Each structure stands twice: as structure tokens, then as C-alpha cells.
Structure 1
Amino acid sequence: MGTGKRKKSDDGEVEAAVERRGGGREGVKEKKQRALPSMIKNKEKRSAVHAKLKRDKRIEKRKKAKAQEAALQRALELGEEPPPKKVPRTIENTREPDETVCKPDDEELFAGNDADEFSEVLKQDVTPKILVTTCRFNSTRGPAFIEELLSVIPNAHYYKRGTYELKKIIEYAKNKDFTSIIVVHTNRREPDALLIMNLPDGPTAHFKLSNLVLRKDIKNHGRPTSHKPELVLNNFTTRLGHRIGRMIQSLFPQDPNFRGRRVVTFHNQRDFIFFRHHRYIFETKEKKVDPKDKAANKGAKEKNAPQQKVIARLQECGPRFTLKLITLQHGTFDTKGGEYEWVHKPEMDTSRRRFFL
């Protein structure tokens, strides 16, 4: 006898689809949960099933959260250790192991710090003095960016490039006791690279510059003062990152004026260095008092006095940009005979979990 057409329900349609794909009836329940929406051809039924699965997933997530909260409360009441929190897997905490990651007990690393090119500035034997210039063909946003860069870095001086070669500028800076040179490179009217040279003997770091946002384009931005800023270097964990961090650190004075409440941050994440410039503000606001607390404190002398609390907040001063290290060169800038400590190559980007800084 031939098999006639049968009336299919939602479950029957799914079971038939699973059988057609060679799953057999023993795996229907298991496969139904995994591929239920995609197996239903009818659009309305498929949307309804998808919505039901989404709702069940949300309810299950809520149940797990309530169970974790109850377990934490129970542990606190009994004086036991709370259950361990689950750490989500991220690209950062699953990065490939690297032999060059700095360790706190690395004596060789700290011994090298006392003899490297930045030690005089970081020991405060020499005051940092920065020369800022541009490439030969400047752009419209270049001067605006340099003006804001001068307000960020204390004791930085701008010199117009003109037709001078970079080697002559380096010699001039050495004679005038500058400790570093920053060259802002522009392309198509937009700053796109930074060249930072430590003087007198290097090294030279070439950074790609992207995502530049000037101060005027930041909503509710603040005006920086002339105080020496605090410097925050975050997540420079490898030997290369440690070297780059010390180079950046040598651009700023090592005696910040905390009364100015200025903070300059270089945050490294996945080999991208994010620059931010903030000032922190303390505000006093009236604290809202619960009516029950008011009733409980009726007999207190200061019941009518307004309660106050201090709130700290950050105000961004700008500019905002991102740096990506391209090369690190021995000595001062030399395109022909220069030796490179590190060069970024395209074949290095084969893994998303491999970082160098």
C-alpha cells in the first residue's frame, strides 16, 4: 500500500524533516532543540517557534541568576566562602602564551631599566623637552591636532618643518638639548602617523594614527590647565610593550601636579594603544533620604539639615586617538641604513589571540 498524505502538526513536521535528513526517530527530541526553527518552512510557524525558544532561554537565564543569588546569600548567612564566579572567555584572557611577557621577579628586566635610553629622564636627572614638527606637506587638521598635542604634553615646543630634512632637525634638536622629537605625518589632509624619536641615541618608534577626534568635536569637553598631568600606562605586558611604555613615559615629567586633576591615559588593548585625556571633578550633591529613615531619626538634632555626598566624575579634554605600532628602530630615524628592533608584518596577523605589546 502506498503511504498517503498525513496531516502534520509542528512536531510532526519537524520529525519528518529530521527523518528526511537521515536522523532517525531516536534523535528527534535531541535534534529538535538544536535545529527547530530552520527546519520549519512555514514562516509564521518558524517565527513562533523561534520566539518560544528565545523566551525559554530568557526564563532559564533568569532562573540561573536567581539560583546564584540564593547560593551567595546562603553562603553569607552561614559564613562560608561564596561560590566562585564564572569568568567569561575573551580574546584577552585566552591569548596565546608568550615567552616575552614580563614577570614581577624579572631581575634582568629591572637591571636593564637603569641602563636604557630613557633612564635619565625617568630618574628625573633630565627634564623632558619635546620638539614637535610635521611632515613637509601639512594639512588643515594637522595644526589643530598639534595645538592640542602641545596642551597635553608639558614643555613641548612646535617648530615649522619648512624644507628642512629630518636629519638636520635631529641635529638641531640635539644641540638645543631636546630629549624627544614628535613628527606628525599627514595624508589627504588628515594626520595618519606619529614618529617618536628619543634623543640623542634613539630609539625611533613609528605609529599608525587612526580614529582622531579633536577637542571641539567631543561633547561637553573640558579645557585643560597648565598643571603637569598624571600618566596612566595600562596593559603593556611584554618586553616590547615595556619598552614602548617607557618611551611614552619619557615624554612626560615624572612629578605630576595632583591639584590640577589632569590624567593622560595610554591603554593598550590587542596591540592598539588608545589615548585619552581627562580631568576629574568632585561635586557635592544633596543625598536623598528615605522617608522611613526620616521617621526613625525624628529625635535627632540634625533632622532638618540636608545630607550631602561627594560625587567624582570624569570630563574628557581631548584629543582622542588610537596608535598602532608599525616599527621600532635602533637609533634615530634612518630609512637607508637603520636597524630595526621590531617590524610589524602582515603574516603576524594570522591569529586573533596573538599580541606583541
Structure 2
Amino acid sequence: MGGDNNKRKRSESEGGGEEPPPEKKMEILPSMIKNKEKRSAVHAKLKQQKKLEKRKKAKARDAAEKRALELGEEPPAKKIPKTIENTREVDETICKPDDEELFAGNDADEFSSILKREMNPKILITTCRFHSSRGPEFIKELLSVIPNATYYKRGTYDLKKIVEYANKKDFTSLIVVHTNRREPDALLIIGLPSGPTAHFKLSKLVLRKDIKSLFPQEPNFRGRRVVTFHNQRDFIFFRHHRYIFEEKEAKQIESKGKKTKDANGESGPKGKVIARLQECGPRFTLKLISLQHGTFDTKGGEYEWVHKVLDLTFTNQFILYIGVISFCS
């Protein structure tokens, strides 16, 4: 037994045993190179290689489609690029368009009459008792954004009295702009006649005059503007844009001294119509602080939820309501 072990050890030492696995070459990344010039050169080389591979794959794909068309076969299926939307995991809590429970809940919603277009929104906008110079400027721009809105000075009236007055005048919503240290910092939106009441924190306000633009400040927005309420991470980002159409001359391609011609046999540059957005303002950010059942009542009011116990269902519900009183024309 000892002799067999010695023979086995001798044969392994002479190369008769198993060969060790080959070592893998370590890939050198541009970020691992300390020298700036060498790092830039390696990065440019890798970028060029990726570009050539992409072009090679595109040519092979076009050739396969052309070959399939010549043979009367179906071209190969196009690969769908991976995006955030098609790779998102299915969430069972997301409501679907054909959800019967969702439509049944809409009938009992506080804004069902507006969502069903049984009544037109009528908005009353006012301020807190002590407002600053930027408060009226902000309200003036809100009046240009929200249709069928009216501004009333607060004066010394109590907010409950204003709610009663708004109900008598058939207003559907009351918006109170609160200011602090000469800056609007909150919005109180009260649904009439029976609530709910939402308290939003307002931040990062930029008025229209502060947004630099090459266009006049009083353009004709008829049919050319859009108001956006974007909900992301419990914040509502408000943006006001107008879209414009421009016609640009397309570059004329010439091959071997011959000018290209269009379908009518005429040569010359072709116009290309493009659309782009121009921000008009105001611009601000909202964060929902509380949602109160019924109209405004600080003492005996019932809160459906408050800050740090946020339910996105109510946020999305109020965004939908705000989207109804705004417009996209």
C-alpha cells in the first residue's frame, strides 16, 4: 500500500496527474487605468468596437429581412428592447381599466358629479389673512391656468364663513394660498359642498416672469398649452407648457453629383415639421400634508390621514380631481 502511494505521488509530480484549470484573464476596464491618456485611449477603443459590432448586427438583420422578403418568407421577429415598463414586476394593487370594483367606487366618490360631467367646476381662490406680494402674483398665474376660477380677497373673514359663502354661490372648490415670510408655502384645497379638505405643502415656486424665454409673456395659448400634475414619490410636480410646431429644412442628400428629386420630380430641400415644448410657468411642487373628511375644521374635523401615514390612493384621487378642473387644450 505504501509503494502504491509513492508511485501515485511520483506520477503526479512527473505530470501524470490532472492538469490545473487554466487561469482566466482579468478584464482591464478603463476605470482601472490610472494614466489619463491611456484610459481615454482604451475607452475610445472600446466605444469604437461596440459601435462596429452594433453596425455589423444591423447589417446582418437587414440582410436577413431582405432575404426573407425575396424568398416570400416571414422576416425574423424584431427584438424588443428592455425598458422599465416591460421589465416591471406585476403589482396586484394597481387598478386595471376594466376593474369593476374601481368603477363601482367612482359612483360613491365625492367628485363623481364632476367626473361624470354632470356639473362644471367652479373655483374660488383666496389667500390667508396675512399674505405677501408674491401671493397675489402666484394667484394671478393660477387664474390663467385654471379655467372658471375667481379670486376674492380674504380680508378679515373667517375661513368657515368663506366656505358658507362659496356653497351659497355654487362653487365646487375653494383654494386657499398660504404664505410665510413673504413666500407662498402651502395650498389648502377644499372640495365643496361636503369635502374632502387637502393640505399641500408648496415649495420651489418659480413664477412666470422668472422663467427665461425667447417668447412674449402674453402669447396666444389657444389650443397650444398643457398643464401637467406629475405624481412621483409622494410629491406632485406642477408644470405649465405650450407646444409649438416648427418647419425645418431637411438636409439634401446628393450622390455622385446628382441631386435627389421628390415624387413630383422636383428637386430642392424638403421641409420637416417638428414639435417642441416651451415652459411658461408658474412652476412649483406640492406635498400632501393631510386629508380631512368634510370641509375645513381644525378642532372637530376628522382626518382620513396625515403626513407620514400617506396612502397613494388618496393622492392619485386628488390628482385626478385637479386634472378635471385643469385642462389640456
Same fold (TM over 0.5): yes
Q: How far apart are residue 334 of structure 1 and its match?
A: 2.2
Maintained 8 Å contact 1:281/1:314: yes
Q: How far apart are residue 174 of structure 1 and its match?
A: 0.8
Alignment-mate amino acid for residue 154 of structure 2: R
Q: How far apart are residue 182 of structure 1 and its match?
A: 0.8
What corresponds to 1:175 in structure 2? 168
CA gap 1:298/1:336 in 2 versus in 1, 3 angstroms: closer
Maintained 8 Å contact 1:36/1:49: no
Alignment equivalent of 1:123, drawn from 112, 116, 132:
116
Alignment-mate amino acid for residue 164 of structure 2: E
Matched, 1:65 2:54: yes
Whole-Å separation in 2 of the counterparts to 1:98 and 1:345: 23
What corresponds to 1:150 in structure 2? 143
Maintained 8 Å contact 1:203/1:330: yes
Farther-moved stretch of structure 1 (137-146 vs 336-345) = 336-345
Q: Highest CA radius of gyration, 1 or 2?
A: 2
What corresponds to 1:267 in structure 2? 230
CA gap 1:309/1:53 in 2 versus in 1, 3 angstroms: closer
Q: How far apart are residue 134 of structure 1 and its match?
A: 1.3
CA gap 1:310/1:162 in 2 versus in 1, 3 angstroms: same
Maintained 8 Å contact 1:194/1:208: yes
Maintained 8 Å contact 1:225/1:260: no
Deviations 1:244-298 (A, max 9, x none): xxxxxxxxxxxxxxx5323212122333322222223334555554445974549
* Structure 2 unaligned blocks of 5 or more: 1-21, 69-74, 317-329
Whole-Å separation in 2 of the counterparts to 1:76 and 1:315: 41
What corresponds to 2:77 in structure 1? 81
Count of residue pairs brought into register by the alignment: 283
RMSD value, Cα? 3.7
Deviations 1:139-195 (A, max 9, x none): 221111110001111111111122222212111111111100111122222212211
What corresponds to 2:19 in structure 1? none
Q: Percent of aligned positions with the same letter in both sequences? A: 61
Matched, 1:193 2:186: yes
Q: How far apart are residue 341 of structure 1 and its match?
A: 2.7
Alignment equivalent of 2:283, drawn from 311, 320, 332:
320
Q: How far apart are residue 109 of structure 1 and its match?
A: 0.8
Maintained 8 Å contact 1:284/1:308: yes
* Structure 1 unaligned blocks of 5 or more: 1-25, 39-44, 228-258, 349-355
Q: How far apart are residue 37 of structure 1 and its match?
A: 3.8
What corresponds to 1:239 in structure 2? none
- Relative contact order (C-alpha < 8 Å, sep 6+): which is higher? 1
CA gap 1:132/1:70 in 2 versus in 1, 3 angstroms: same
CA gap 1:204/1:60 in 2 versus in 1, 3 angstroms: farther
CA gap 1:151/1:75 in 2 versus in 1, 3 angstroms: farther
Matched, 1:207 2:235: no
CA gap 1:116/1:55 in 2 versus in 1, 3 angstroms: same
1:274-293 alignment to 2 at 5 Å? 274-291=237-254
CA gap 1:340/1:225 in 2 versus in 1, 3 angstroms: farther
Farther-moved stretch of structure 1 (286-295 vs 329-338) = 286-295
Q: How far apart are residue 327 of structure 1 and its match?
A: 2.1
What corresponds to 1:105 in structure 2? 98
Maintained 8 Å contact 1:37/1:46: no
